[in-house]
C-alpha cells in the first residue's frame, strides 16, 4: 500500500498532513515513497489450494503459518502480550469510523511533529499505573496516542530494555517524529514483500493487528547473508527451522488478532515482510497437537508506528 506518485509532494507544516489512499488511484512502484504495495489477488495462481473442511474458503497447501516467532535478531512477538479485547474493539471501531467510511479508502498515513513534553504533562497508560514518558508527536489522533501509551506499558516486561528504550525513548533524549500508517485489509487482500524504506524510516517498528489475524511471511536472500552483520550459513538457518525458498529462506508466521509485532535490528533491515492475498490461512493447530487448522480471514486493520529519520519529514525538493 503505497503513496501515489502522481500526487504533488506535500510540504511538512507545523500541523501534520494526512493522506487517504483510494483503491481507484494509481499505485506507485516498490521504490516509491513508502515502499508498500497492496496485493489484491485472492490467491497466488501458482500455489495449489485445498478446501477447508466445512467451508468454501480456499487455503494454500504450500504455506502453513507457524505460531512460534522466528529466531531473527530484533524480532519480537509474544503471543501472550496482546491488546485487551475491549480496547482492541474500540480501536478497530475508531479507525473504521474515522478513516474508512468511504469504501474506496484502504490506507491513511499520519505524520506528527515531535514536540518536547513538560514533565508535568506526563500521561499514564490506560492499562496500568506505570507513568508513560513518550516523546509527544502533535497531530496524531487521541486514540492512537492512547494506543502508544498502552503499548509502552504492555511491552515493557517482554522487550529487552534497549529495545523498549528505542521504541519509547525518555524525555532526556532529543525529540523525534513518528509516522503512523493505518491499513485496512479486506478478506483476500495482502501486501507485497518489502523492507520499510531505509532512507526515510529509522530502527524500531511496531505493528498491531486488529479485527482479524493473518499469516505474514519473512524472507531473506541467501546472497545477502554473506554481507550481513549477522552472517549464518544456510545449514544453520535450516536447522533453526527456516524454510528454503528459492535463493533465500523464509518463515511464515501467524499474527493473531490483537497481537503486537516489533521489528528492530536485523529483523527490521535485512528481512522482507509481506502478506499473501488469500481468503484464509492454513495455520499450525493451537491445541498443542500435530496438525493444522484453516482460519478464515475477516476485515483486518493494521496500525504501524515508525520513526522518521531527520529530514524525512520533507517530501520532494523545495520549490
- Residue 107 covered by a domain: yes
Mean pLDDT of 157-185: 93
| Cα–Cα nearest to 149, from 130, 173, 175, 172 | 130
Q: Looking at residue 186, what DSSP letter applies?
A: -
Tell me which range, 57-61, 116-120, 253-257, 283-287, is most confidently predicted by mean pLDDT.
253-257
**Cell 509485532, located at residue:** 261
CA distance to 54, 80, 150, 213, per residue, from 31 (Å)? 42, 36, 33, 27
Q: Quote the number of domains for the chain.
A: 1
Residue 154 located in a structural domain: yes
Q: How confident is residue 132, by pLDDT bands cut at 50, 70 and 90?
A: very low
Q: Considering Cα of 284, then 286, then 291, then 297, what sign does the dihedral take?
A: negative
Long-range contacts of 166-169 (CB under 8 A, 24+ apart): 166/203, 166/204, 166/264, 167/204, 167/206, 167/262, 167/264, 168/132, 168/133, 168/134, 169/135
Residue 211 lies in a domain: yes
β-sheet bridge partners, residue 136: 115
Crossing angle for the helix pair 142-155 and 85-99, nearest 10 degrees? 150
Domain membership of residue 110 (yes or no) is yes
Decide the pairing of beta strands 64-65 and 280-284: parallel
| pTM of model > 0.85 | no
Give the mean pLDDT of the chain. Answer: 78
User: In this structure, is residue 270 part of a structural domain?
Assistant: yes
| Residue 144 lies inside a defined structural domain of this protein | yes
CATH code at position 289: 2.60.120.1520
Range of the domain at 204: 49-116+129-308
CA distance 2 to 233: 34
Across 23-37, 81-95, 242-256, which has the greatest mean pLDDT?
81-95
Residue 197 within a domain: yes
Residue 124 belongs to a domain: no
Q: How far is Cα 67 from Cα 46, in angstroms, rounded to an integer?
A: 25
- Which pLDDT score, from 0 to 100, does residue 203 have? 98
Residues above pLDDT 90, as percent of the chain: 54
**Tell me, what's the pLDDT at 17?**
33
Amino acid at each position: 500500500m503505497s503513496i501515489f506518485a502522481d500526487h504533488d509532494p506535500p510540504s511538512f507544516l507545523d500541523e501534520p498532513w494526512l493522506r487517504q489512499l483510494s483503491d481507484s488511484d494509481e499505485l506507485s512502484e516498490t521504490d516509491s515513497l513508502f515502499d508498500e504495495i497492496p496485493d489484491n489477488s485472492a490467491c497466488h495462481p501458482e500455489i495449489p489450494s485445498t478446501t477447508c473442511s466445512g467451508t468454501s474458503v480456499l487455503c494454500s497447501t504450500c504455506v502453513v503459518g507457524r505460531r512460534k516467532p522466528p529466531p531473527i535478531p530484533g524480532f519480537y512477538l509474544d503471543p501472550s502480550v496482546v491488546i485487551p479485547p475491549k480496547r482492541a474493539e474500540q480501536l478497530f471501531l475508531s479507525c473504521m469510523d474515522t478513516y474508512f467510511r468511504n469504501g474506496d479508502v484502504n490506507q491513511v498515513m499520519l505524520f506528527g511533529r515531535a514536540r518536547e513534553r513538560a514533565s508535568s504533562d506526563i500521561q499514564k497508560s490506560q492499562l496500568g499505573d506505570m507513568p508513560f514518558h513518550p516523546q509527544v508527536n502533535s497531530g496524531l489522533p487521541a486514540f492512537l496516542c492512547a494506543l502508544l501509551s498502552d503499548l509502552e506499558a504492555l511491552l515493557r516486561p517482554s522487550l529487552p530494555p534497549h529495545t523498549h528504550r528505542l521504541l519509547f525513548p525518555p524525555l532526556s533524549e532529543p525529540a523525534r517524529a513518528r509516522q503512523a500508517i493505518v491499513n485496512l485489509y479486506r478478506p483476500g487482500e495482502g501486501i507485497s514483500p518489502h523492507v520499510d524504506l531505509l532512507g526515510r524510516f529509522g530502527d524500531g517498528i511496531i505493528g498491531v493487528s486488529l479485527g482479524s489475524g493473518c499469516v505474514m511471511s519473512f524472507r531473506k536472500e541467501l546472497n545477502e547473508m554473506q554481507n550481513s552483520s549477522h552472517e549464518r550459513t544456510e545449514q544453520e538457518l535450516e536447522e533453526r527451522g527456516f524454510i528454503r525458498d528459492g535463493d533465500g529462506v523464509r518463515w511464515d508466521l501467524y499474527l493473531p488478532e490483537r497481537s503486537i509485532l516489533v521489528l528492530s535490528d536485523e529483523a527490521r533491515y535485512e528481512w522482507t515482510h509481506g502478506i499473501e492475498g488469500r481468503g484464509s490461512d492454513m495455520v499450525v493447530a493451537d491445541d498443542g497437537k500435530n496438525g493444522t487448522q484453516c482460519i478464515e480471514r475477516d476485515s483486518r486493520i493494521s496500525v504501524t508506528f515508525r520513526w522518521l529519520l531527520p529530514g524525512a519529514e520533507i517530501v520532494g525538493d523545495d520549490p
